[in-house]
Amino acid sequence: MPAGTAFRRGAATLAANVWPLALLPSAWHYQHPLLFSLRHGESALLWGLPLLGLLCWRRLPGLGRVLLLGVGLLLGWQAVDYRLQREAVLAAGPAMQAVGRHFVVGYTDVDEVRELAAKGLIGGIYVGRRNVRGRSLADVRAEIAGLQAVRARAGLPPLIVAADQEGGRVNHLSPLLERLPPLAGVTDQPDPGIAAQAYGERQGGTLAGLGVTLNFGPVVDLRLADRPAGEMFSDIPARAIGSDPEGVAEVAAGYLDGLAASGVRGTLKHFPGLGRVDRDTHLHPARLSETPAELAADWLPFRALAGHAGSALMLGHVTLEALDPQRAASHSPAVVRLLRGDWGYDGVLVTDDLNMGAVYNLGIGRVATEALAAGVDLVLVSYDPRQVYRAIFAAAQVLERGEIAPETLSASARRLTGLSSSPI
């Protein structure tokens, strides 16, 4: 056999084995939230290629057939497993409802989220860009009001309606709502606190007019001059109020008061702070090696405003090594003990989105469960909303096994009741 022919046959055999092998990682991570925007194309590709392989079954070498069969079985198992978990959640048993009220979920399908709301399987919704893009203010307001009416008819508490409208770089509800400049701009005013309050009232009025009750702002992470590079999406230097802890606290307090005057609560974020973090938690795990004493200045705005009327506190996906080297703050019992015990904070704790790369690969069900067991009050699942079924299912299983203390959920339910009342 000529050398060229042998080479071509060898290359063809290698390619026939390699392309099914290349599909295995994608099949394992099928419907990963970071690929949510590509979901339709991902599904068509991952299901289409194995089907195409079946048409060429006789031409595939033995290893290629085995790998292709493995891809098909893995995709099928994931699809069936997800469907079973979704159906179990929608059956709305007591355990599903008990944990479900602690979830705030984004949505792409209002009918789907309406069912979750009616059955008491969620505590709130997250309204983002995709919910307002190309729509009128009246339409979005009516949609939210309709979901609240569903809750009222079911005899359930009103939904928490959350948004991420910081101003500046993060204006997720604009241009439907007024696009405001960064909150940091008020630091140049003669009285930054008063200017921040006016800013909060202006922004809060538009949010309240839409039906939003909880805004994920202000960012009180410090803007550090020597901040390491490496983030893609967080961009804390552009979002932070400033570098002076006391000045940040003053502006944040005024902003919270302004929101509250409009009937909207704010959220201090992202504890334990992203100012020193060198990795973007949207994509990667991040760690802080500093001790609490070394972070005292960074924490001053959080500590000064913890419990401030009309605010919650968001836990970021950052591992605070001195307190809990195994878990990020968002699901760490040690971090919750610091806030509840040492600081005396009895307000609402909410996680950053569990779809983020820093924690998702640990298992969204595991992280949600650990957060609730630690005493976190609200679990956010916003970017890829359908991941909420896996999270609720896992948490309900753990609750039924007695691994989430009933008194922990009871205390959390009390705090959520307070969040539903007017912040004014």
Q: Active-site residue numbers?
A: 282, 352
Alpha carbon distances (Å) from 143 to 55, 129, 419: 46, 15, 22
Residue 273 region, left (φ>0) first, then alpha (ψ -120 to 50), else beta? Answer: left
3 state SS of 126: strand
Q: Strand 103-106 vs strand 124-126: parallel, antiparallel, or unpaired?
A: parallel
CA distance 220 to 268: 6
CA distance 240 to 221: 6
CA distance 194 to 256: 11
Following DSSP, what letter does each residue of 269-317 receive, concatenated? EEET-STT--S-TTTS-EEE---TTTTHHHHHHHHHHTT-TTEEEEEPS
Non-local CB neighbours of 384 within 8 Å, separated by 6+ positions: 31, 33, 36, 106, 355
91 with 113: CB under 8 angstroms? no
204-214 core/surface letters (b: 16 or more CB in 10 A; e: else): bbbbbebbbbb
